[in-house]
Amino acid sequence: MGDKVHIIRAEKAFEFKHTMSHTWNPDTIVPGTQLDRMVGLERTRISVIRIPAGGDASVYHSLECEEEWIYILRGQGVIDIDDQEHLLGPGDFVGFPVCSVPHQLKNPFKKSLVCLIGGSRCEVNIADFPRLGKRMFRRGDTMEIYDTADAVESAPADLDEIITTNYRKSLRNK
């Protein structure tokens, strides 16, 4: 029999030994268990989390490259999807395909909300935080944050010109 753990028993899953938080939202201090890491999954994220009364699971965001989902186990929550709020309870499932709309799970109630959260895990991802005016680029464990107000749009023709100019410069430098 191998050294890998393939089964996580309920008592371990609900220990909530890790705390997840988000720099941009002080209401995001969420105890959880990262089930994916416990069994060695690399391309899938899955955690059991407990959102305390009055807490949030994250910041209002959308992802460009990864899918996300939420399954409510216990308690009630509110999911804000594209500026519309929806009440959630035990057994409710919410899914966000790649390039989906912004969303945020909140617990405005007096009891904890327990849910499974997960999704795909890609080497590269882009996350938009429209209420904060920020965009995050992540490659592996490295992240870069940009203010969307500083973004400059360029047409594909401009991109061709930039590439051609840089290519010509590189030839001159040889």
CATH entry 3.20.20.70 includes domain 10-124: no
Query: Is the model's pLDDT at 61 over the cut of 70?
Result: yes
Query: Is the model's pLDDT at 56 over the cut of 70?
Result: yes
Percent of the chain past pLDDT 90, that is, above it, reads 68
Give the pLDDT confidence score for residue 105 in this predicted structure.
97
Question: Domain boundaries in the chain?
Answer: 10-124
**152-169 pLDDT, tens per residue?**
776 666 666 666 666 666
Residue 119 — very low, low, confident or very high, per pLDDT cuts 50/70/90? very high
- Sequence-ordered strand ranges (E) for 35-141: 44-51, 62-63, 68-74, 77-81, 84-88, 93-96, 103-106, 113-120, 124-129, 134-139
User: What DSSP assignment string belongs to 134-154?
Assistant: EEEEEETTEEEEEEGGG----
Query: Is the model's pLDDT at 3 over the cut of 80?
Result: no
Q: How would you classify residue 41: left for phi > 0, otherwise alpha for psi between -120 and 50, otherwise beta? A: beta
Sequence-distant (6+) residues with CB within 8 A of 38 are 5, 8, 12
